[in-house]
Amino acid sequence: MDDTLNTIINGDCIAGMNALPEGSVDLAFADPPFNIGYEYDVYEDKKEHAHYLAWSRDWIAAVHRVLKSDGAFWLAIGDEYAAELKIASQEIGFHCRSWVIWYYTFGVNCKQKFSRSHAHLFHFVKDPQKFTFRADELENRIPSARQLVYKDKRANSTGRLPDDTWILRPQDLDDCFTASEDTWYFPRVAGTFKERAGFHGCQMPEQLLGRIIRFCSHEGELVLDPFSGSATTVAVAKKLGRRHIAFDLSEEYVTHGLARLDAIRVGDRLDGAPDPLSSAPKTGEKPSQKRLKQPSGQRSLFAEPKKVKDR
């Protein structure tokens, strides 16, 4: 399998995953077509309901086969099939650890229903008793309200785990926290963002993938993406020192994705909003220069605020 690692393969993901050794992948992230009529390069995103569900079961089963016993599977999906694919994943053998809501206020405007402003992120594992979740790593923790708001000396100096609602406000491009909240803000990758790859319309933020990959895998482990698309998963995996493999039906997407991979190096900084390691002001307010003092020798949870550029 070594000759297929650290690359994107042009081909069907089910056949590709079934060709991989069983139990060889540490983490899988899938952002499949939502079956809502989106215009992809070669894939038809408007299958008959039963056909879409049967196909989804097939590729999810392939993920389950190739995943290690202590591995994790993250599934990003829209409202239309979130419930069905959660149930299908559990019937195949996955156990749901978290149902994360990624909320963004600059969503899709709808005329006959409430505007779409969120996506579902399911965190599945094969073994509910043994799985990788690096909860104690400082890079995976955020400041607590006791630290940021109340300056309570009893607060855990290492912060706390994030909530299961990940929030985006598009005006907060370089900020993470307000003075009264400690919820993570994720910028949606809009067309004007520098982060946008340009060749694929549906692009996940690198920081979102960064959180998932940091929590659910270790350096040197193998990350899989069945639907490479804009190649964000493998790009972030490479930056974070993970091995990676992805599949895509589109030769054009694969070509651009490989070029994206070639342009980055292990250790490169993730694009988009910075990691949630600093407090930040509400939009329009001046950033406070005060920062909590850390014990000597301890890595700070709080970075200095960056200037927000006009967009």
Provide the residue-wise pLDDT of the chain in tens; the chain has 311 residues: 676 799 999 999 999 999 999 999 999 999 999 988 777 767 887 899 999 999 999 999 999 999 999 999 999 999 999 999 999 999 999 999 999 998 865 556 667 777 777 889 999 999 999 989 887 887 777 776 666 665 767 767 777 777 777 775 443 333 333 333 333 344 444 444 444 445 445 668 898 899 999 999 999 999 999 999 999 999 999 999 999 999 999 999 999 999 999 999 999 999 875 543 343 444 444 444 444 443 334 333 333 334 334 33
Q: How far apart are CA 127 and CA 108, in angstroms?
A: 36
Q: How far apart are CA 230 and CA 227, in angstroms?
A: 9
Going from N- to C-terminal start, the domains of the chain cover 2-262
Can you give the pLDDT at residue 295?
38
Cβ pair 293, 284 in contact under 8 A: no
Give 95: exposed, middle or buried? Use CB within 10 Å, 0-12, 13-18, 19+: middle
Other CB atoms within a 10 A radius of the CB of residue 110 amount to 10
Cβ pair 5, 200 in contact under 8 A: no
Other CB atoms within a 10 A radius of the CB of residue 124 amount to 26
**What is the token pair recorded at 70?**
């202590």
Can you give the pLDDT at residue 18?
97
**What is the token pair recorded at 120?**
């579902």
pTM above 0.75, yes or no: no
Shortest CA distance to 295 belongs to which of 89, 183, 153?
153
Can you give the pLDDT at residue 46?
87
Cα→Cα distances 141→49, 156, 305, Å: 40, 11, 18
**CATH number of 2-262: 3.30.750.24, 1.10.490.10, 1.10.1040.10, 3.40.50.150?**
3.40.50.150
Q: Interior CA angle at 72 toward 161 and 98, to 5°?
A: 45
Q: Strand pairing partners for 185?
A: 167
Instruction: State which H helix or E strand residue 30 sits in.
Output: strand 25-30
Other CB atoms within a 10 A radius of the CB of residue 36 amount to 12
Cβ pair 126, 95 in contact under 8 A: yes
